[in-house]
Structure 1
Amino acid sequence: MHAEDPIYLDYNASTPLLPEVVDAMLPWLRGGFGNPSSSHVYGRRARAAIEAARAEVAALIGCAPEELVFTSGGTEANNLAIRGVAEALPDRPQIITSNIEHPATMRCCVELSKRKNRVSIVRADAEGRVRAEDVARELSDATGVITVIHANNETGVLQPIEEITRAAWRAGAVVHTDAAQSVGKVPIHVATLGVDLLSIAGHKLYAPKGVGALFIRKDMPIAPFMVGAGHERGIRPGTENVPAIVGLGVAAARAARDLEEEGARVKVLRDKLFVLLRERVPGLLLNGHADKRLPNTLNVRFPRVSGTALLAEAAEVAASTGSACHDGHEAASSVILAMGVKPEEALGSVRLTLGRGTTEAESTRAAEALAAAWRKLAR
């Protein structure tokens, strides 16, 4: 980032590479060109680097290294989990999901519904949380997989995955959670959650784009949707991206070291940012649960303005909305609408997400810039 750049408050979209991640990757971008499937010394070195990274990522989420498969990112991990289990369990065609999922999950479920699967969608409440009892009501002997996001990417709201898995066990269903936004931000242990599959995206925790991982519980039935050689136990064929995997391992190790400290720090800044905005913007409202959310995420509704227009006016801040624009017409975020917010109010939503680079001074400046932009547009 350069001194003249706007204040970056879009860490849920992507994170910069940590310096130690870059340093760890460079040798594999320069001289470490060996194919990890080769038996000679160049290949053995690459394979050893991959396995070291696998152990680091596994340690972050509390699984065995052999239960982790590297992918190209969170989208592939979600598709592999959902499609793979659906194909492996053809006699259990029901899929249960929620109406606040990332498109990588929702669109996958929609595509499967066009084939042989039946998709049941559970609605979130006004605070952006799925109720475990609502998921339990949808369970049947035909349920194959339940897929519910761990922390919503727009609101940061954490979902009751532990309660959902307890209900799933009784029905013999498989549980997958998309933890792309939460891994590295809050403590996660797959045994505590009780999940069978969990998705990770590297660029959400200061690793490169284009790398991710999928936790697959031992003995979990899953069918690969790509074919090739036997890479990643045959579940994800294709020669591994060694530099990116090494970077993901280093980022996971750093996250494990200072998870609680960094989480507490950004939570203080996030809460201060919210206080400053409420003081300056009468009628500002929080989207999502006040407490059960990621420590870095603040999604708010600005009254009487469009979030897109607000961010365009506040050029000093780089953030995002969950809205979409098609043919010049802005549409409100489906996640915010799913919480029962009126469309005209939902359009004022802005997602402000903090990270390792965020300072207290930046939080204050961002609040002032956003408030000034709101006053100009709302008058």
Structure 2
Amino acid sequence: MKSPIYLDNQATTPLAPEVFDAMVPWLKDHFGNPHSAHKLGRQTAAIIDVAREQLAVLLPEQGNVIFTGSATEAINLGFGAIYQQLKRGRNEIIVLETEHAAVRDTAKSYAKIGFEVAFVPVDSNGIVSLEALKSLASSKTALIAAMLVNNEIGVIQPVEAIAELAHLHGALMLCDAVQGYGRVAIPDNVDMIAISGHKIYGPKGIGALWTRAGLELPTLIHGGGQEKGVRSGTLSPALCVGFGKAAELCNSNLTKDMAHIEKLSDYARELFGDWLVNGAIDRRYPGNLNLRKNGLDVGRLMSDVRDVAFSAGSACASGSGRPSHVLTALRLEPAEVRSSIRLGFGRYTTMDEIEQAANMINSAAKAQLL
């Protein structure tokens, strides 16, 4: 059976062939526990250190890479840094309104134990208001969390300026760089960065948290203290190797990948010329194109266009059917939110696939709106 044209690279990316090849030996032959002292253990521990270094190349200097089971876990781990801030009398958390649920819901969980949580609005382009952020930040602020590249609309936030503001008030800055890592430069003045393997053509089931040197984190998973003393459990050498190889490929292909993505995006914008773009036009990652055509029923559209894998712009990640909090934050009307789709282009997307997908989506939309 023919696979659908894949245009959902914000949800996940296909595994790079080079990553698969790099992982196989560590699934089959090199099965040692990386935390064992014998030769097999030392071999796997060494390859994990190599992977850690491969990830670090695309991250700021003077920091530590902690492997986790996902970026969501990395974000939860990073939030724990606020306990040290609490000892300094800081109990406020500031989060952008358009953050991923991993950040929003983690922040809300701290509200249940006495932290004050404020959500900062964005403008109609999806960019945070720095003035609004300045009005909220204070000597009580423990942490400011901001996503580098938004997963729904692709806009790039002024993370460097946000980190500067956080530090001005003595707060920490946590950056969800899941959609930006390996694609967009990460400012070096942040304190923590969460990344994910399967968003950069690597394996699922692994993420990482980068922390600035000297930053203290409480233990997230108790046990043997294997990963930097904060996350217990045996690491998977294969997953670490795959993540590291994916990062290496992103680094070596950075210019080539971006040129390809920009070409795909420009062509898609041309083919979807009568659709409206959600989010900023100039300050966005071009591999994410969030579009709307007023009056469209996107649920019906997705049913009619089953040979293209793309995302509805109106449902949150949980699949609850509630309107997207990101598109709602842009001040779109509910009907406009429900008429939005997200197209995600990647390293393996072709121009021919863009053309075929556009023909199918536009034809189905036209038939629906007649």
TM class by shorter-chain length? over 0.9
Q: Percent identity, please.
A: 38
Q: CA separation in 2, counterparts of 1:259 and 1:26?
A: 25
One-letter amino acid matched to 1:186:
V
Is 1:186–1:263's contact at 8 Å kept on the other side of the alignment?
no
Deviation at 1:358, TM superposition (A): 0.6
- 2:81 counterpart of 1:85: yes
Q: Which moved more, 1:311-320 or 1:12-21?
A: 311-320
* Cross-structure match for 2:171: 173
One-letter amino acid matched to 1:257:
S
Deviation at 1:121, TM superposition (A): 0.7
- 2:68 counterpart of 1:71: yes
Q: CA separation in 2, counterparts of 1:333 and 1:307?
A: 13
Deviation at 1:45, TM superposition (A): 0.4
Deviation at 1:224, TM superposition (A): 2.2
* Cross-structure match for 2:192: 197
Secondary structure at 1:95's aligned position in 2?
strand
Q: CA separation in 2, counterparts of 1:329 and 1:44?
A: 46
Which of 331, 350, 365 lines up with 1:340 in the alignment?
331
More helix by share: 1
1:294-333 Cα distance to aligned partner (Å, 9 max, x none): 121100012211222212211221101232389x994321
- 2:145 counterpart of 1:147: yes
* Cross-structure match for 2:12: 14
* Cross-structure match for 1:254: 249
* Cross-structure match for 1:228: 223
Q: CA separation in 2, counterparts of 1:148 and 1:34?
A: 38
Deviation at 1:33, TM superposition (A): 1.3
Q: Return the TM-score normalized by structure 1.
A: 0.94
Q: CA separation in 2, counterparts of 1:216 and 1:237?
A: 17
* Cross-structure match for 1:303: 294
Q: CA separation in 1, counterparts of 2:185 and 2:316?
A: 35
Q: CA separation in 1, counterparts of 2:58 and 2:168?
A: 28
Q: CA separation in 1, counterparts of 2:105 and 2:313?
A: 17
1:151-204 Cα distance to aligned partner (Å, 9 max, x none): 11000101010111111111111000100011122233x42xx10000001100
Which of 360, 364, 367 lines up with 2:351 in the alignment?
360
* Cross-structure match for 1:323: 314
Q: CA separation in 2, counterparts of 1:329 and 1:119?
A: 24
Q: CA separation in 2, counterparts of 1:187 and 1:171?
A: 25
Is 1:187–1:259's contact at 8 Å kept on the other side of the alignment?
no
- 2:364 counterpart of 1:373: yes
Unmatched tracts of structure 2, length 5 or more: none
Is 1:131–1:160's contact at 8 Å kept on the other side of the alignment?
no
* Cross-structure match for 2:100: 102
One-letter amino acid matched to 1:372:
S
Is 2:85–2:142's contact at 8 Å kept on the other side of the alignment?
yes
Q: Return the TM-score normalized by structure 2.
A: 0.96
One-letter amino acid matched to 1:58:
A
Is 1:264–1:295's contact at 8 Å kept on the other side of the alignment?
no
In the comparison of the two structures, how many residue pairs are matched? 367
Is 1:186–1:260's contact at 8 Å kept on the other side of the alignment?
no
Q: CA separation in 1, counterparts of 2:256 and 2:150?
A: 22
Alpha carbons of structure 1 residues 138 and 361: separation in structure 2 relative to 1, 3 Å = same
Is 1:89–1:221's contact at 8 Å kept on the other side of the alignment?
no
Deviation at 1:132, TM superposition (A): 2.3
Unmatched tracts of structure 1, length 5 or more: none
Secondary structure at 1:234's aligned position in 2?
coil
* Cross-structure match for 2:260: 265
Which of 48, 60, 63 lines up with 1:62 in the alignment?
60
Deviation at 1:131, TM superposition (A): 2.1
1:119-145 Cα distance to aligned partner (Å, 9 max, x none): 011001100111223212211111111
One-letter amino acid matched to 2:75:
N
